[in-house]
Amino acid sequence: MQSAILNETIAAVTDILGPELDAITVERAVIGLFFTGVKLSAGPEIAVAGTCATPRDAIAGDICCPVSARAAGLRERIAGRPAAELMRDALAPEGLRRAVGIATLNALAEWAWRRRPDPGVALLPGTDAFEATELRDGERVVLVGAFVPFLKELKRRRQPFLVLEQNPAALKPEEMPFYRPAELAAEIVPGADVLLITGATLINDTLEDLLALARPDARVTVLGPTVGMLPDAFLARGADILGSARITRPDDFLDLLAEGGSAPHFLGHSAEKIVLARIPAQRGR
């Protein structure tokens, strides 16, 4: 992985937290069916958590023995490791290591935001990224990734849209007229007035290419719990809105992931929707 966004976010976390970073360790980690979560601690009074979508293709086949588990990136115990070390696994080649690394980085980004919020960005707790995008009638929307809540809302509004997706099985039969293969991104994305990109594109290292394809006047939202709390690297590449989740009860959140839970189970319970929105005066590529 050569992701500039992840590299710049790692550098920002390191800069903002400074020496404090050395005392932060991983207290607990869960690799769930749908999301991976990490809880960090620097003492009994300070704990934050971060998450990342668990890559569906991280394991090529069934894990049947310790050797195949190591090949999938499961190499050593996670709890107790320094967070500064683990966040660098966000750039690892193996999918599961990368998911744990991004979850750790996102937890540290939450910590860093508390220390130094971005004055050019509005934090909107309890806000839905779709509503914050404020679609206008007739705008051409391109959705990257079959993000079910957005698909439902786009269909309900009869908004013109296309969805780019690597796995067509993720769409229902009635949604297939809107489907385009992900390989057509260079053809489809420049036609978007509004571009909605799932944060899971951070995992497969396609996010930056997609952002580069957007027209300068397009409005761009990057969404999903995989998106972290430090927006600078995203905004520098044309994103206007980041829609994510802030974990409010880390242990309950990780318990849900361990039971195979997903966003409908934790949003509004152990996590809340948030939006990080570029303040209009800050717009510009």
pLDDT digit string, tens, across residues 105-142: 999 999 999 999 999 999 999 999 999 999 998 899 99
Contacts by residues 186-191 (CB-CB < 8 Å, ≥ 24 positions apart): 186/213, 188/142, 188/162, 188/164, 189/142, 189/144, 189/164, 189/213, 189/214, 190/214, 190/215, 191/140, 191/142
Domain covering 4-115: architecture? 2-Layer Sandwich (3.30)
Reported CATH class of domain 121-246+273-282:
alpha beta
Amino acid at 112: A
Residue 99 has a pLDDT of 96
Domain ranges of the chain: 4-115, 121-246+273-282
Which of 223, 200, 197, 227 lies closest to 211, judged by CA?
A: 197
Return the number of other C-beta atoms located less than 10 Å from residue 22's C-beta.
Answer: 12
User: pLDDT means per 10 residues in the chain (285 residues)?
Assistant: 92 96 95 97 80 80 52 72 96 95 97 93 95 92 91 89 92 93 96 95 94 96 95 95 96 97 94 93 49
Residue 78 has a pLDDT of 94
Residue 77 has a pLDDT of 87
Residue 285 has a pLDDT of 46
Structure tokens at 211: 């952002």
Model confidence pTM above 0.75: yes
Residue 282 has a pLDDT of 47
Q: Are residues 42 and 26 in contact, defined by beta-carbon separation less than 8 angstroms? A: no
Residue 65 has a pLDDT of 53
Residue 281 has a pLDDT of 57
